[in-house]
Amino acid sequence: MQRSGAERIRVLVVDDQAIVREGLVALVTLIDEVEVVGQAGDGAEAVRLARETSPHVVLMDLRMPVLDGAEATRQIVATDPEANVVVLSTYADNESIAAAMRAGARGYLTKDATRAQITAAIRSAAEGQSTFDATVSRRLVAALSEPLSPAAPAARRKNLPDGLTAREVEVLSLITAGLSNAEIAAELFIGETTVKTHINNAFLKIGAKNRVDAVRYAYQNDLGRP
């Protein structure tokens, strides 16, 4: 659920290792304007508690018994499309990241994240923004580094999501490849002002507030490759 006004940020902590879960609860409890509303030791319990406690943010482990974190995230987001799930996992391989992003995770941190990083991720997620640590961001960009070309299959272009035009998809794919506005303009042989217009239009359609949001969206919708 989305946070309103001066409401405290409600956090649900999910991890199958009790010592890790209790440590996270202790850490989160110390953050100003944040309260822990529940803790779960597996994905199924996380889904149940998310429905019962309506947290603003869910800190979600991935590899757990009964129901894994990716499937738990998918079920939580299916129930509440505005749910803000931040994965906090030991694993940062492409498969784990892809599973989390496609399930609807809002952010992804590894368990060596600092208290400041976890705090920032919780606050960003509560505002509906995405947060990825440096390792995950690099992997996202690498996985989406091949832009769509004008020769992409016609069937693919007939099914563009959220009303995006083919050109807007090309611009999004180049953003995920790490190109600046000037570099995108050169790549597509258009003016930089036109690039900015395409970016603004695309961001409005997909609800992105920044380039990190755009990368997340592209990953979830498989827009990085023809």
Q: Which domains does the chain have, with CATH numbers?
A: 9-141 (3.40.50.2300), 146-220 (1.10.10.10)
Provide the mean pLDDT of the chain: 84
Q: What is the DSSP string of 71-98?
A: HHHHHHHHH-TT--EEEEES---HHHHH
Its pTM stands at 0.68
Lowest mean pLDDT among 39-48, 122-131, 134-143: 134-143
Phi-psi sector, 6: left (phi>0), alpha (psi -120 to 50), beta = alpha
State pLDDT tens for residues 79-116: 988 889 999 999 888 788 888 888 889 889 999 899 99
